[in-house]
Structure 1
Amino acid sequence: MTPRDAADDSRWSDLDRPPLNAAALRRGLVREAGLWSDLDVVQSTGSTNSDLVERAAAGTAAEGTVLIAEEQTSGRGRLDRHWNAPARSGLFFSVLLKPSGVPVARWGWLPLLTGVAVASGLARAAGVDTALKWPNDLLVTIAGEERKAGGILAERAGNDGVVVGVGINVTLRAAELPVPQAGSLALAGAVSTDRDPLLRAVLRSLEDWYGRWRAAGGDPAAARLQEAYAAGCATLGRAVRAELPGDRSLVGEAVAVDADGRLVIATGEGVQEPVGAGDIVHLRAA
C-alpha cells in the first residue's frame, strides 16, 4: 500500500463515524404509499445536488428520490459558495420534489419548508434546538453563541421539479471547523449523533411538512408553514443589513416573512421593504 493509499483509507477508519446503513434506511423510509421512492448512499461525490439535477434531467430519477453522500468534495451553498467537511462527519443529501398542483410562484417556500422540517426533526432525534437564519442557514447554540451548523440549497430540475440539498454538521470537532462561526450538533451537546436515526427523523419530518404544504396548494398560511417558520426564525426581530446587488444595502429590523417567503425589513424611514432570497447577496447583523 502506498502512503497515499494509506492516507485515503484513514479518512474512512474513524470509529466514531460509522457508515450509514443504506439497506436499513431504505426499509425504514421507502414504502409504497410514502413520498420517498428511492434512496442511494454513495461514498463520495462532488455535489449530491448536481448529481440529482443531472439524473432528473436525464429522466432517471422520480419524485422522492434521495441521494446521500458520505463525503462531498464540492458541496455548494447559495450563490455557488463552496464548502466541504470530513468524510462521515455529517448528513449530506439531496431530494427530488415535483410539487404538481402547486403554483410555481409558491415553490420558493421549499427551502424554508425544508428548514422547518430539519429543525423539527433534529429537535426530536438529537435533542438540539436548531434556529433558522433566513433564507437557508441552520443555527445551533454553542457556549451561548449562535453558529451555523448547516445549510439548504434548492435548484430547479427541469420544468416540473426542484432538487433540495441539505448539509448538516453532525460530529465535526472544534479543530475541524472551517471557520470559527461554524458549529455542529456534537458541539451543541446533541444527545445522539447517530446519523441513521437523525436522517430518518429529518426525512420523515420533511415528508410530513411537504405533504401538508402540497395539500394546501402551496399556501404557507393554510399549511401553518408560515407560522412555524416565523416561530423558528432567529432573524426576525433583529436589526439586519441586507446587501443587495449593485452595492446597494438595506438596513432595518427584520419584522416578518411574507406569503411569498420574502424577508420584510422595516427601515428607519418607516418603509417596510420585502427582499427575496434570489435578490440578496449577504444578510448580516446591523
Structure 2
Amino acid sequence: MEDAKGVDTPTRKPLDRHLLWSLLSEKSDFWTEVDVVGVTGSTNADLAESARHGAEEGRVLLAEKQLSGRGRLDRRWESPERASLMMSFLLRPTAPRERWGTLGFATAVALEEALLAVCGVRAKLKWPNDVLIAGKKVCGILAQAEGSAVVVGVGLNVSLTEEELPVPEATSLLLAGATTLDREEIAAAFLGHFAAVYRTWEDQGPASAIERWERNSDTLGRQVAVSFPNGRNLTGRAVGIDADGRLRVDPGDGPVEAVAAGDVVHLRPRA
C-alpha cells in the first residue's frame, strides 16, 4: 500500500508472542515472561499493578494499541494500531534507590544500539528520555518507580506514515529508511541489548550507561532552553551529565546548574 506522499506502508501484522519469545530467548536469559495484548489503557499502568501484586523482574508487556498512554509530564501518547512498539518491562533493582533515575539512560543506550544493529539507522539521544533520528523524535521512554520495582515504558514509532505522525517534530523507522520494520526482531534486539546494559548498571553502577549516552547525545554542546515544573526558565549550553543523570547547563553568566527535571528545547546546532 502506498500513502499520498509515495511512501510504501507495510502490512501491519499482529505481534507474534511465541516468535518474539523464541527470538528473545536466543539473545538473553534475563527475561521471564512476555505478554502481548490487543488493546489496553497503558502498559506501564498494567505492569505497575502487577508489581504491586509481587510480579517478578523480567516481565514484558506489549500492546498493539494504548488508549491512555502517557509520556513525561503526563503528556498523552497515541499511535495507530500495530504501527508502533508499545512496551513496558518490570525491573526490581538491587542498586540503591537514588540510582534508579539513571535507568532511562540505560534504556536509551540499548535502543540506540539496537536500532543501528538491526535497522541500520543512526539515532541520537535527547535529555532526558527521547530518541531522535535526524533531529526528530522516534521514541520516548518513561521509567516510574512502583514500590521496590521500576516499570520502564518505551514507545517506538515503527511504520507510521507522515500523515499519521502526532506532531511535525516526530518521525518513524519507516520514514527514516530502516532496513527492517519487523517488530518482533526489533523488540528482541532491544530487549537483548537492554538486559546486557542493565546487568552492567546493576553490577558496576550507571557510569558506563551515562558515558555511552553522552557519546551519542544530541543535547550536549547545544544551546538549550529548560522549562522547570515550577515555571522557571533557564537558557544556556548543555555541557554534561552528572553521576545522577542530571543535565549540567552553563548559563554563561553564572554557575553551572544541574537540572534534575524539566522540559528541554534544543535552540541551535551543537557547537
Query: TM-score w.r.t. structure 2 length?
Result: 0.92
The corresponding residue for 1:177 is 165
2:37 aligned with 1:48? no
SS for the counterpart of 2:12 is coil
**Cα distance in 1 between the residues matched to 2:122 and 2:236:** 27
| Separation in 1, partners of 2:191, 2:10 | 25
Give, in whole Å, the separation in 1 of the partners of 2:99 and 2:234.
25
Amino acid of the residue matched to residue 107 of structure 1?
W
Equivalent position SS for 1:96: strand
Tell me which residue corresponds to 2:73: 79
1:103-149 residue CA offsets vs partner (Å, 9 max, x unmatched): 111111101110000110111111111111100111012xxxx1111
2:5 aligned residue: none
Matched-pair contact (CA < 8 Å) for 2:10–2:159: no
User: Which string of whole-angstrom CA distances, capped at 9 and with x for unpartnered residues, describes residues 204-238 of structure 1?
Assistant: 0000100111111xx222xx222101011100000
Question: Take 1:35 and 1:96, find their aligned partners in 2: how far apart are those partners?
Answer: 11
The runs of 5 or more residues in structure 2 that have no matched partner are: 1-8
- Superposed CA RMSD in Å reads 1.4
* Cα distance in 1 for residues equivalent to 2:199 and 2:85: 23
Structure 1's unaligned 5+ residue stretches are 1-13
Q: Does 2:268 match 1:284?
A: no
Q: Distance in 2 between the 1:152 and 1:226 partners?
A: 15
Question: Which amino acid counterpart does residue 89 of structure 2 have in structure 1?
Answer: V
Alpha-carbon distance in 1 for matches of 2:163, 2:10: 18
**2:57 counterpart residue number:** 63
Paired residue for 1:8? none
- Tell me if structure 2 keeps the 8 A contact 1:44–1:72: yes
Q: Is the partner of 1:210 in helix, strand or coil?
A: helix
Q: In structure 2, what is the Cα distance between the partners aligned to 1:244 and 1:35?
A: 37
Instruction: For residue 15 of structure 1, report the CA deviation from its aligned partner.
Output: 6.2
Counterpart in 1 of 2:108? 115
**Equivalent-residue separation in structure 2 for 1:269 and 1:79 (angstroms):** 29
1:21 maps onto 2:16 in alignment: yes
Superposed displacement of residue 16, structure 1: 1.1
Q: In structure 1, how many angstroms separate the alpha carbons of the residues matched to 2:101 and 2:67?
A: 27
Q: Which has the higher contact order (CA 8 A, sep 6+)?
A: 2
Equivalences for residues 145-156 of structure 1 within 5 A: 146-156=135-145
Answer whether contact 2:138 2:157 (CA < 8 A) is retained: yes
Tell me the secondary structure at the aligned position of residue 120 of structure 1: helix
Q: Is the 8 A contact 1:30 1:37 kept in 2?
A: no
**Which amino acid is the alignment partner of residue 136 of structure 1?**
N
Percent identity of paired positions between Structure 1 and Structure 2: 46
Corresponding residue SS for 1:246: coil
Matches of 2:132 and 2:266, distance apart in 1: 14
Q: Does the 8 Å CA contact 1:67/1:94 hold for their aligned counterparts?
A: yes
Is contact 1:253-1:265 (8 Å) kept? yes
Conserved? CA contact 1:30–1:38, under 8 Å: no
Q: Distance in 2 between matches of 1:56 and 1:220?
A: 23
Q: 2:96 maps to what in 1?
A: 103
- Counterpart of 1:264 (choices 248, 252, 255) is 248
Q: Secondary structure at the match of 1:240?
A: strand
SS in 2 for 1:76: coil
How many positions carry a matched residue from both structures? 258
Question: Moved runs in structure 1, 4+ residues, more than 6 A?
Answer: none
Q: In structure 2, what is the Cα distance between the partners aligned to 1:83 and 1:57?
A: 24
